[in-house]
Amino acid sequence: MAGSRDNKSRIVAVDLGDELAAQLGQADKAGAWEILRCSSLSGIAAALGTAEADVLLIALPSADASRIREAADWVAESGRGIRLLVVLDEAGPDEVDEIFAAGADDCLVVPFGEALLRRSLSSLIGQRRTAIRSLFLHETIRIMEDCRPLAYCLEPGQLYPMTLELLLKATARRRGFALFKRENVPQSDAVALRGFGSEESSLVCRTLLGDKSIDFNAFEGLTVLNRGVLHDALRAADVEVKTLLVVSMGGEGNESGLVAIFDEGRPFVAEDIERGDIVTRHGIAALENSETYALAKERAFVDDLTQAFNAGYLLTTCEKEIQRSERYGTPLSVLFLDIDHFKDVNDEHGHLVGSNTLRRLCRVLEQCVRQVDTLARYGGDEFAILLVDTDHETALRVAERIRERVDTYVFEIEREIRLSLTVSIGVATCPDHGEVRNQILDLADKAMYRAKSEGRNRVCSPSPGA
């Protein structure tokens, strides 16, 4: 991790004279060092570019504590374990002590031989490598601790944004996006953005979601990309992009998606990849857990968005209740409910707000029915309610109470978003309108569409002769 790309150790020398430069060359018998000469501390950044130094060597004619402290401050600000070697033309024992007190890691006083110079630099380079390794281990621990919340997150819609934020933090970047979808859930494609302005975000979201050439299966593992479909899509949204670090979170299971971060003018280095890999492994493990959780919920007949029962549970329960109705001679009523113009909510505020609205509506509906009744999300923005031991006239009154409740309720989804909704409800009753499950459900559904065709925000029974 330390050193230059060809494994040479990099020494930055400030105020290096020709004689000392020659000594450095003689001491480096193995050719293991790269020497960068600078006239001042302020010139080091330009000399290094994106590389890192292992040792800062500063040559002074005499013990100048203020210059040493300045150099020590530069080393401390770098935060990368760089070692400071001070070479003095002359100094007494007390002055050498002052140099160490000012922040030097080692100090050599002229004259000295190439062997002593080689031992000093080799020792400092070894210390720096140890410091870098220790720093990496500490950062690894920090990143793993930061990733702990992923283990407790079971919703993919939250996992991807969390993984994005962790990846940005681990690589010290600010700008990126997550693109994901659920294979078995229609219209579940979503984008999470970080580091974009509000107007820019809207265009980027539309472009990424609308680009059908983005194939999640085409990405694998963690890769650095300089071109491709993601670059094309971002440029189509007028976003400047050079290099992306892309993490594939899945492509063959129910959950498919990726997370990408921008280089922001700093090329991705090996340490970025190593840190990113830690986050990636935690994210993928959490996603696998969420898929297991989703499968368990599906098998348990619970809708993962609203926590109401799902269509499978509704069908099973309706069949049982019809049999019970026949056995005991009691009525069973079915309500089909659909939100009016719900597409406008998604189009204007986005699918996340739409999802939150469905959850809030579900809570409202739960307050309008008894515990013995069954509330289920039938699909999309459509709900169904089984009212046991309820005749048609009573079911119509319940439906009207629900309609009025929704009509007067203010849905505060977020601090700035307050929505007013209406619903259209169809009501069918067993045995009045039929004695077979599919017949009753179909009639309730048709009655709901009749309510919509007659102006919405109303309750309707099946048409005569239906």
**DSSP secondary structure letter of residue 113:** -
Q: Which residues contact 112 (CB under 8 A, 6 or more apart)?
A: none
Whether pLDDT at 376 is above 50: yes
- Which range is least confidently modeled, 45-54, 65-74, 431-440? 45-54
Q: Which residue has the higher pLDDT, 5 or 115?
A: 115
- For domain 9-144, which CATH number applies: 3.20.10.10, 3.40.50.2300, 3.30.559.10, 3.30.56.10? 3.40.50.2300
pLDDT tens digit sequence for 194-253: 999 888 888 998 899 888 888 888 888 899 999 999 999 999 999 999 999 999 987 555
Distance of CA 355 to the CA centre of its chain: 18
pLDDT of residue 214: 87
Average pLDDT on 181-193 reads 66
pLDDT of residue 416: 81
pLDDT of residue 3: 40
pLDDT of residue 5: 43
pTM: 0.55
Q: Domain 148-297: give its CATH architecture.
A: 2-Layer Sandwich (3.30)
User: Same fold for the domain at 9-144 and the one at 311-460?
Assistant: no
The length of the chain in residues reads: 466
At 421, the pLDDT band (50, 70, 90 cuts) reads: very high
Whether pLDDT at 351 is above 90: no
Whether pLDDT at 431 is above 80: yes
Whether pLDDT at 397 is above 90: yes
| 312 touches 422 (CB < 8 A) | no
DSSP string, 196-214: --HHHHHHHHHHHHH-TT-
At 430, the pLDDT band (50, 70, 90 cuts) reads: very high
Average pLDDT on 252-264 reads 82
pLDDT tens digit sequence for 79-113: 788 999 999 988 888 888 888 998 999 999 989 98
SS3 466: coil
Domain residue spans of the chain: 9-144, 148-297, 311-460
Counting Cα atoms < 13 Å in the Cβ hemisphere of 115 gives 0
**CATH number given to 311-460:** 3.30.70.270
pLDDT tens digit sequence for 43-61: 887 777 777 889 999 999 9
